[in-house]
Structure 1
Amino acid sequence: MLRRPPRECKRPRRAAPSGPDTGRRTPDVRRATTGGPPRHGSVGLPLERVSTADRPHVERIAMTAVVSLTAAPVIDRTYFVDTFDEGKVNRATDQQEFLSGKGLNVSRTLRLGGVPTSAVLPIGRDDEHLLFRTPHPHILRILRIPGRMRVNTAILEPGGRTTNVNQNPVPIPEADWQETIDMTVREIEALGADWLVVSGAVPKVAETGEALDFTRLFREARRLGTRIALDSSGTSLDVLVRSGYINLVKPNADELATMVGRHLTTFGEVLDAARHLIDECGLEVALVSLGGDGALAITRDVAWHGYAVAPRIVNTTGAGDATLAGFVGNSIQGAGRTGGRADFGQLPQLLVKRGLAAAVEYGALAVSVPTTIIDSFDELPEAVIETPDPERLLSEPTKFLTPRP
């Protein structure tokens, strides 16, 4: 069994509350602006259906405000085929193309449920035409930069098997990245955001080839009392989760195994790995997606397992984004921010459970639609929440996504 020596996390001093919570009005998403003109550039317990009070029906969705940042937006191009033969010419029966990105997918799903949200993303000005072909365009906060966006291609077969070819992120000039940070901070302030979702691949700085530095953004979000949720992969996930600023991380089982340097075979091993990461890096919550096994929501003190039965299996791409949207949109209803600054403690147990219920419901719904865009909650399934059985085996063994030392 491979193990990696523990790594020390940098933990910034938490800001003290600035005063009692006086409450805040529900923000109006239409008031958010870009701040300037467009630029050129527990084992044996019975299963439990979530009660009406706990289940986040669409008409009762939490009024949490969320800002998402997609540093590497993408043109999603999906080909639908009757059959797919590797190494041969294949015919597509249909094709769709639209502006996408993991953070944007989160914001679209939230907006469909009426949650105030905005999606910040730097767009290659050669692809601006796609802005007119995307659902909920009014939530977009665009920084126009030179060049084109990357293209991700999906080949979708009947039965839901999907083949993906994802292009590497396009490098971003340092000046454009700093302006992207400024725009994101303005959106957090404009919405009074409870969550900042940083999601997707992380580009490199055009001038140096180094990964983008999120430190200034994270410090500003923390100063404003905004929790930070992270959903990335590879080296970027490993580095950012250890920054000391992250409140929630949403890995899948393979990503979690890679981060802790050991394979995971049971729910108990997943719980241990997640809590190791929570303790090491000062996280509040680890939301671990387990594919067909559902998901686990884990804090230092509690853990819940949830799942929901999908109406059908069509396309698994984007299910993780919907899962994250469900959690951040439903986990701190009515909490608001503590006077603009926050001393972050554990989320209350009930709301972690509620957030997980929404997460697995949204994730199950997402696999029943052909693209990464959910356009209706009419078929939203019902979550089952239980105390996880540590002895239960994962349906699929984990694998490391990057070589371990």
Structure 2
Amino acid sequence: MSVHTRPLAFPLFSGRSLMSAVVSLTPAPVIDRTYFVDSFDAGKVNRATEIQEFLSGKGINVSRTLRVAGVSTSAVLPIGREDEHLLFRTPYPQILRILPIPGRMRVNTQVLEKSGRTTNVNQKAVPIPQRDWEAVVDMTIGEIQSLHADWLVVSGSVPKHPENDEKVDFTRLFTEARRLGTRIAFDSSGSSLEYWTRSGLVDLIKPNADEIATLVRRHMHTVGDVLEAGRQVIAESGLEVALVSMGGDGALAITKDDAWWGLAKAREVVNTTGAGDASLAGFVGHSIQGRGGKGGRADFGTLPKLAIQTGLRNAVTYGAMAVEVPTTIIESMENPPVAVLERPDPERELSEPTKFFETPSA
């Protein structure tokens, strides 16, 4: 029989940690187009009751959530010149740091049913020329310096260069961010997650259960399996934190020496798209512990400690709030669900079996 601590329920933002300053980079931003339908029949003609379209992307979602929470943030993104008109109807444009590049952006389409079921069709990342990518890196470094950022969040699909069909390289960006005393959170999938997790340049990853299963090449059946996989990846890569989301089974915050499980139950599941981005925002926005105007950021010295429990508590709360709204934009932090934290129960079974590919996809 497993032994775990009594669940602890907390209000949002509690604890001794201070808010961070966070810069996000979305290498491949997207036009999010959502079709609202009563029900969806594959292969049939379906009628939408409403259509919404706006500029989006995983890093942008992180920064928008942090903006609503009152955390200092900016969002860097290359945007196709043919889609600049979207900036005039984008929520919280003041946090955006735009680098115009040739062409158009990709389009991600989701069909959202009244039941909450979501069907997604996502376009591949649009290639970005090497010269433009170097300008994106320069802009991101400038934002880190301007905000004295505690965290750099790089999130979403990783584009390729049209000149050589190779993926963009984060080495210069990550090396300079670390020199400036900024932690790096990386949230992607497939071969990009595999490579940068083991690069020695990343502090935090935010995989889901399928992605952590892919990293260790075995299926997960229990919370204990996920915990063991997270510890294995940390031991092999030198990561500081693995923040593993498990959907309705909660989330784990795992470090070399510590681990906590957390869950906040949504009152209604409307749309699950963007919940992971909101969870990451909750962690990086509230995990810095220490002295200083920006939460204890250490300029060229020892990094401040991380408040793992406070970060996880806000991560699961933000995630639950995200699934309660129809888009990827949380508009208010009022009346949040209560998070429950406890030590992981290794015997707790996952509600859904994991799946993974032997060779991670690009």
Q: Under TM normalisation by the shorter chain, which class is it?
A: over 0.9
User: What SS does the aligned partner of 2:341 have?
Assistant: strand
Q: Spell out, residue by residue over 1:239-278, the C-alpha distance to the aligned partner (whole angstroms, 9 max, x if none).
A: 1111101111100000000011111111111111101111
1:209 and 2:142 correspond:
no
1:152 equivalent in alignment to 2:108:
yes
CA drift of 1:194 comes to 0.1
- Per the TM alignment, residue 83 of structure 1 is displaced from its structure 2 partner at its CA by 1.2
Deviations 1:132-159 (A, max 9, x none): 1111100000000010000000000012
State the 1:44 CA deviation. Answer: 3.4
- Given candidates 39, 53, 56, the residue that maps to 2:13 is 56
Q: Please tell me the residue identity of whatever aligns with 1:46.
A: R
**Aligned equivalents of 1:81 and 1:231: distance in 2?**
30
Percentage identity across aligned positions? 66
- TM-score, length-normalised on structure 2? 0.95
CA-to-partner distance for each residue in 1:181-201, whole Å, 9 max, x for gaps?
000000000000000000000
**Aligned amino acid, residue 136 of structure 1:** Y
Shift, 1:342, TM fit: 3.8
What is residue 153 of structure 2 aligned with on the other side? Answer: 197
Report the CA distance shift for 1:339/1:302 in structure 2 as closer, same or farther (over 3 A): closer
* Structure 2 Cα separation of the partners of residues 338 and 230 of structure 1: 19
Q: 1:392 offset after TM fit, Å?
A: 1.1
Q: Tell me, in whole angstroms, the C-alpha distance in 1 between the residues paired with 2:268 and 2:125.
A: 32
The 5 A counterparts of 1:146-295 are 146-295=102-251
Is 1:44 aligned with 2:4?
Answer: yes
Structure 2: distance between partners of 1:101 and 1:309: 25
- Any runs of at least 4 consecutive aligned residues in structure 1 with deviations exceeding 2 A, and if so which? 42-45, 60-63, 333-339, 342-345, 401-404
**Which residue is 1:89 aligned to?**
45
**For residues 333 and 137 of structure 1, do their structure 2 counterparts lie closer, same or farther at Cα, with a shift above 3 Å needed?**
farther
RMSD across aligned positions (CA): 1.7
TM-score, normalised to structure 1, is: 0.85
**Counterparts of 1:297 and 1:82, CA distance in 2:** 37
Alpha-carbon distance in structure 2 between the residues aligned to 1:377 and 1:333? 22
- SS for the counterpart of 2:234 is helix
Alignment partners' CA distance in 2, 1:401 and 1:373 = 31
Task: Kindly provide the amino acid, as one letter, of the partner of residue 9 in structure 2.
Answer: R
What is the correspondence of 1:106-125 to structure 2 with a 5 Å cutoff? 106-125=62-81
Cα-to-partner distance string for 1:24-43 (whole Å, 9 max, x where unaligned): xxxxxxxxxxxxxxxxxx82
* Aligned mates of 1:197, 1:180 — CA distance in 2: 14
Query: 5+ unaligned residues in a row in structure 1: which ranges?
Result: 1-41
Q: CA deviation at 1:333?
A: 4.2
Establish whether residue 394 from structure 1 lines up as the match of residue 350 from structure 2.
yes
Q: How many residues align?
A: 356
What stretches of structure 2 of length at least 5 have no aligned partner?
none
Are 1:74 and 2:34 counterparts? no
Greater strand content: 2
Distance in 2 between residues matched to 1:386 and 1:338, nearest whole Å: 28
